[in-house]
Chains A and B, each alone.
Chain A
């Protein structure tokens, strides 16, 4: 990596978003090759219709959770309780709406249900944040507590049942369309825009990076690391809460046991794919969005190629292994040494 090449291509490849984008593009090409109507988008039933729209819609909860996870990982943390928080938020929303079959009644008004679910998720995030920043637990363990107990709490709320939601207005969030596009995309866009502005227009992004790179140095420099870390976990909780609303609204039910299952792993994978190192510090919000899209496109490709969907996990595992190795400086150094020996600097 010591040799410098001035060419534009190399400079582009060095950009941190280059590899995620190339991966995404490759996946899209694979999809297009095997399914010629993949890129086709048409206007049907008053909204846009097509595979790409479908992928975007389905990726929405994952994108949200990945955004929250990015901030947490940037502060050197990890939040493995997001799946459980999704389940809790969905359960709270379903309970507040109630099981009335008529489709027009809800136990509490819709805004109360939405705010209630997000509020509970916020409290969960606050709990994680306080455990990590104030009590000083390792993030993985602090969030493990909620991961274990959270599904129990969600099942407690739903009484161990899968609550079916009949209240029609609730379905708009995860299944409705606004201006021809899925409404969930607007939710994601708003969250992303707010976060992006907060990160780039204020010193917040800088502070988070500072905490992630060296917490002690950041504290000495006057950054209130504790508060920042709590805020990151709270934000992650809120994102998981909104994702829970989208998911439960899309499937019209709340399942305390299975909602958001393995979502934490997908989110971590998305963040990693997006180029954010798990060791904290440098992070990329756009990268995480692309990472989430890669995962959803990959899932879509596996389904559309006719490969048994069970192979999905194996493919994901292989992808994680490859990305991990590529991110490892030791691996790069060794491969680099191997590649340099025959005189070809093909890699890197």
Chain B
């Protein structure tokens, strides 16, 4: 809820991206984080290709998509929420809840996956809509509402079962094993295809629909959006509904990947998603950012992991430290940019 005073405003420059007269400077500032992300990604990929044999292959890069398909989907939903000036901490637990309900329905109740998947998608969407309703209707802070949603979804997972439920349904594992063969033996999984589809739809929604424009407007200034007669209420509820749907879809993709439902799946995924969105160049104050940037944010996280696993001598926790450092660097970049554009006034 961007009506809550933006807490970044302790220093003398509070609100970023004021109108600048110089269109060219504005263009540069706007695209700089995105450009930085893409060049860093290319640099890291090049570094990996030079350092490690076997890194530079189509499959390694397609694996970035395959291994991070669920994260891409979650991060796309998160992008819309952050663009609107909010935050959604419940995504990881909604992913876990989706895997849990899906596994329980398919395995314990003997449901057909084709019936269970729409149901869990609906459930995630409704969950998001409920949180969006609370945030919009009662002017609650998105942070705390989605925090409670996070508790709730995780708790519900454990109510279903404390243990992991593995999915043994035959058709399901076939679906999970299915690969779309591309050139030279490289292939893509169903999850990766879904992620790409979500990405394309999200690009369209963000840049070519009234809803997308409203999201940017609300994130830029909710007050102005109200005065402009934009459907602020619908937009705010909409972004959380969308994020809920994306989380549920990511949960479905996650079961393709893991073939199990577990309450401890996707712990901390909300942090990865937020990190990906920030690294992708979306301003956390809302209103500025790109869905395409989020893709590169996720790919960046993926390439770091791949680099660390290719290296072999570095332990897995270095991933977290590197992600933290990257997050810091990009937040700093954002601050410097908004500070400079503030002075350019």
Contact = CB atoms under 8 A, between A and B. Distances in A.
Interface string B118-150: 000000000000000010011111011101111
A146 interface: yes
Contacts of A215: 9-10
A313 B155 contact: yes
Size band of the interface chain B makes with A: 35 or more
Interface string A293-330: 00000000000000010111111111011001100111
B332 interface: yes
Interface stretch (B167-175, B239-247, B319-327): B319-327
A152 B321 contact: yes
A160 interface: yes
Contact of A226 (B10, B87, B145): B10
Contacts of B162: 310
B33 to A, nearest CB: 14
A141 B274 CA distance: 9
B317 A152 contact: yes
Interface in A43-78: 76-78
Interface of A: 76-78, 131-142, 144-153, 155-156, 159-160, 215-216, 225-226, 229, 256, 265, 268, 272, 278-279, 308, 310-318, 320-321, 324-325, 328-331
Given A78-B143, A138-B6, A139-B7, A149 B321 contact: yes
B278 interface: yes
Contacts of A278: 141, 143-144
B78 to A, nearest CB: 13
A302 to B, nearest CB: 11
B114 to A, nearest CB: 30
Nearest to A225: B10
A145 B318 contact: no
Given A152-B321, A324-B144, A136 B10 contact: yes
A136 B320 contact: no
A36 B8 CA distance: 51
A145 B331 contact: yes
B160 to A, nearest CB: 9
A265 B151 contact: yes
B307 to A, nearest CB: 15
B327 A144 contact: yes
Contacts of A134: 11
B190 to A, nearest CB: 30
A148 B8 CA distance: 20
A316 B155 CA distance: 9
B7 A149 contact: no
A77 B7 contact: yes
A268 B146 CA distance: 13
B328 to A, nearest CB: 5
Nearest to A127: B328
Nearest to B6: A138
Nearest to A155: B317
Nearest to B338: A136
Nearest to A146: B324
B200 interface: no
A315 B154 CA distance: 11
Contact of B327 (A148, A151, A153, A279): A148
B13 interface: yes
A159 B140 CA distance: 41
B21 interface: no
Given A136-B339, A311-B155, 18 more contacts: A78-B7, A78-B143, A136-B8, A136-B9, A136-B10, A140-B7, A144-B274, A156-B318, A215-B10, A278-B141, A310-B158, A310-B159, A311-B159, A312-B155, A317-B152, A320-B148, A325-B138, A330-B137
A315 B148 CA distance: 10
Contacts of B323: 148-149
B38 to A, nearest CB: 22
B335 interface: yes
B285 interface: yes
Contact of A141 (B140, B155, B278): B278
Given A135-B335, A268-B144, A330-B139, A141 B284 contact: yes
A138 B110 CA distance: 47
Kindly name the residue among A76, A77, A150 whose own CB sees the greatest number of chain B CB atoms within 10 A: A76
A53 to B, nearest CB: 28
B156 interface: yes
Given A135-B335, A137-B8, A148 B148 contact: no
B5 interface: yes
Contact of B318 (A152, A279, A315): A152
B138 A328 contact: yes
Interface in B5-36: 5-11, 13
B50 interface: no
A147 B274 CA distance: 12
B4 interface: yes
B115 interface: no
B145 A313 contact: no
Contact of A316 (B7, B13, B137, B151): B151
